Amino acid sequence: MSFRSPLPDVAIPPMLLLPLAENAVKHGPAAGHVGEIVLSARTTADERLVVSIENPGAYRGRRPGGSGIEIVERRLALAYDDQAVLTIAAVGETTRAEVTLPIAAHLPGSRT
């Protein structure tokens, strides 16, 4: 594990990442896939924060009746309009969900 400079303070809507973490457990280790769940965060040169959650088991698309991804997409749209992005993809035999947010965004109801 390596540590770099601390990330800047970024306002993130409460519970935004919870459905992604729940999906990582449900469709990873709880579904019998062996491996770790990895959470990471980094900044980009264009002043964005990228939060990634990876779990074992390759992403195979949205499941009928599932609502976690849709919930995250709605929360992003409400908080950031079109300035935030959720991507989910298979990377080999793992799934990577990434949320990319503007660092300087002012969230509705925040005091910053």
Task: Classify residue 29: in a domain, yes or no.
Answer: no
**What Å distances lie between residue 81 and 7, 85, 97, 104, CA to CA?**
23, 10, 19, 14
Q: Count of domains in the chain?
A: 1
pLDDT, position 51: 96
Question: Under a CB-based contact definition with an 8 Å cutoff, are residues 40 and 52 in contact?
Answer: yes
Give the pTM. Answer: 0.85
Question: Under a CB-based contact definition with an 8 Å cutoff, are residues 78 and 92 in contact?
Answer: no
What is the residue-level pLDDT of the chain in tens, covering all 112 positions?
566 678 888 888 889 999 999 999 999 999 999 999 999 999 999 999 999 999 999 999 988 888 889 999 999 999 999 899 999 999 999 999 999 999 876 665 555 4
Task: Classify residue 87: in a domain, yes or no.
Answer: yes
pLDDT, position 65: 87
Task: Classify residue 4: in a domain, yes or no.
Answer: no
Question: Under a CB-based contact definition with an 8 Å cutoff, are residues 104 and 111 in contact?
Answer: no
CATH code at position 54: 3.30.565.10
Q: How far apart are CA 65 and CA 45, in angstroms?
A: 37
Q: Which domain holds residue 55?
A: 35-102
